[in-house]
Structure 1
C-alpha cells in the first residue's frame, strides 16, 4: 500500500509539472528559433577549423561527426537540464521542507518527479523538432540503428538521473549556506567544462583527459552522444550504461547522506 501510494504521489507530481510546462509555449518557440542560430555559428567555426588545418578528421572525428556531436549535445540538454537545484534550495530555504519530512514520500524522488514532468514537453516535442530542423538545414547524421538508438535512449535517461542527482546535491548545500545561486553557478561551470557538452572530450589535451576520466560528468553528455555516433562498440556501450548506473548509485548515496545530516540540522533548529 505505502509503495503504491508513494508511486501515485510521484505520478501526480509529474502530471502537475507537465501541465505547468505546457503553459510556456512562447518559451518553446523562442528555443526553436535561437538554437538553429547558435548552431549556424558553431557550424561555421568548425568548418573553418577543419578547412584551416586542411584535415578531414580531428581526433578521429569528421567535420560532419563533430557538427552532429554538437547537435546531439543540444538534444541531451533538452533531456537533462532542469532547475532542481533551485527547487531544492527554495524548499529548504523557505521552510516548506517540514512537509517532506512528515510525508511518506522520498524528498529526492519527489523532486525528480517534478523535474521529469517539467522536462517531458522538451523530451517529446522540442528534441524531435530540433533534430528535424538541424537535419533539414545542416545535414547532421541521423542514427537509424535500432540497437544503438535503444542504448542511446537508455543512456539519456541515466544522464537525466545523473544530472539531477548532482544538482540535487548542490541544492542540499542550502542547508549550510543561505544562497544556492553560487552552487548552481559552480555546478553549471563544472558540468559544461568536464562533461563534453561543448566539444568532444577527445579534443582535450592529455592531462585534462585524466581529470575528465576521474569525474562523473562525462556520463552526462559525452557518453550518450558517443553512443549515438556509434563511436563505441555494442559491448563498450553496454559497459558505459553500467558505469552510468554505478555513478548514479554513488551520487545517490552521497545525496542521501547529505540529506540525513541536513535534516538533523534542520530539525534541531526547529525548522
Structure 2
C-alpha cells in the first residue's frame, strides 16, 4: 500500500484520539442500549426456549456483539463527502495524484481502527462483565468473524460513500443520509434480527446488502451459522463488496461532469 494512504490512516486515527473522552462515554451509552434490549428480549421470550431461531443466550450475545460491532464500522463519511461536494472543495481532488474514493476509505479505516481499539474491544469487555454474553470457544469461529467484521466495515462504508456521492445530483441530500442511517440500523439487524421479519420481507432482505453488515457476522459469532455455512455467508459478504464497487465507480465517473458549487 502506498505510504501516503498509510499516513492518511494514521492521521485520522490521531485526530480521533484527540476526542477519545467522547468515546469513553460512548461505551457507557452503548452498554445502556444493550441493557435496554437485553431486558426487553428477556420479557419477550418469557418461558419460550427459542424465538426466530435464537435461544435466549444466543439473543443476549447477538445484541451485545451487534451493537459493539456497530461501534467499529460506523462512520460519517457520507456527510463528509456531501459537505465537500456542496462547498466545492471536492473539485481540487480531481487533480491530485491519488484516488479521492480510496482516500475516503482510508480515512474511514483510520477511524474504524480507533473505534476498534478504544471503543469496541473495551466496550465488549465491559458488557461481558455485566451481561451473560457467551463468547465463541472455536478459533475458527473467531477468525471467520474477524474477517467478516472487516467486510462489515467495507460494505457499510461503501453504502455511506454512495449516499454522500448523491450530493452531486441533489442540492441537499440530508434527508437521504438520514433515511440511509435508519435503513442500515433496521435492515442490517442491529435493532431486530433479520429472522424476526415477516417471511416476505426476510426474503427481500436476502437480496440486499444490509444483512451483510451486522446480521450475518453476528449469526456466526453466536454459533447459529457454523462450518460450511459460515464460509458461505463470508463469501456473500465478499460478493456484496465487489458488487457495490460498481455503482460507486460509475457515479464518481459521471459526477465529474456535474459538479457545481453552492454558496461562495
Q: 2:259 is paired with a residue of what secondary structure? A: helix
Root-mean-square deviation (CA, aligned residues, Å) is: 1.7
Q: 1:219 matched to which residue of 2? A: 212
**1:35 equivalenced with 2:20 (yes/no):** no
- CA–CA separation in structure 1 for the residues paired with 2:186 and 2:20: 30
After TM superposition, give the deviation of residue 151 of structure 1 in Å.
0.5
**1:181 equivalenced with 2:174 (yes/no):** yes
Q: 1:135-150 alignment to 2 at 5 Å? A: 135-150=128-143
TM-score with structure 2 setting the length: 0.94
Q: For structure 2, which runs of at least 5 residues remain unmatched after alignment?
A: none
Q: 1:160-239 alignment to 2 at 5 Å? A: 160-239=153-232
- CA–CA separation in structure 2 for the residues paired with 1:144 and 1:124: 22
- CA–CA separation in structure 1 for the residues paired with 2:33 and 2:184: 19
**1:71 equivalenced with 2:64 (yes/no):** yes
After TM superposition, give the deviation of residue 143 of structure 1 in Å.
1.5
After TM superposition, give the deviation of residue 266 of structure 1 in Å.
2.1
Q: 2:153 is paired with a residue of what secondary structure? A: helix
Q: 1:266 is paired with a residue of what secondary structure? A: coil
- CA–CA separation in structure 2 for the residues paired with 1:131 and 1:208: 31
- CA–CA separation in structure 1 for the residues paired with 2:136 and 2:28: 24
Q: Is the 8 Å Cα contact of residues 30 and 68 (structure 2) preserved in structure 1?
A: no
Number of matched pairs: 262
Cα deviation digits, residues 195-235 of structure 1 (max 9, x gap): 11112111111111111111111101101101111211221
Q: 2:15 matched to which residue of 1? A: 20
Cα deviation digits, residues 2-61 of structure 1 (max 9, x gap): xx6xx222111111111110011221221122222222221111111111xx21111221
Off by >2 Å, runs of 4+ in structure 1? none
**1:157 equivalenced with 2:142 (yes/no):** no
Q: For structure 1, which runs of at least 5 residues remain unmatched after alignment?
A: none
Q: 2:48 matched to which residue of 1? A: 55
Q: Is the 8 Å Cα contact of residues 78 and 123 (structure 1) preserved in structure 2?
A: yes
- CA–CA separation in structure 2 for the residues paired with 1:15 and 1:131: 24
Q: Is the 8 Å Cα contact of residues 80 and 164 (structure 1) preserved in structure 2?
A: yes
Moved more, 168-177 or 121-130: 121-130
Q: 1:162 is paired with a residue of what secondary structure? A: helix
TM-score with structure 1 setting the length: 0.92
- CA–CA separation in structure 2 for the residues paired with 1:178 and 1:118: 28
**1:263 equivalenced with 2:256 (yes/no):** yes
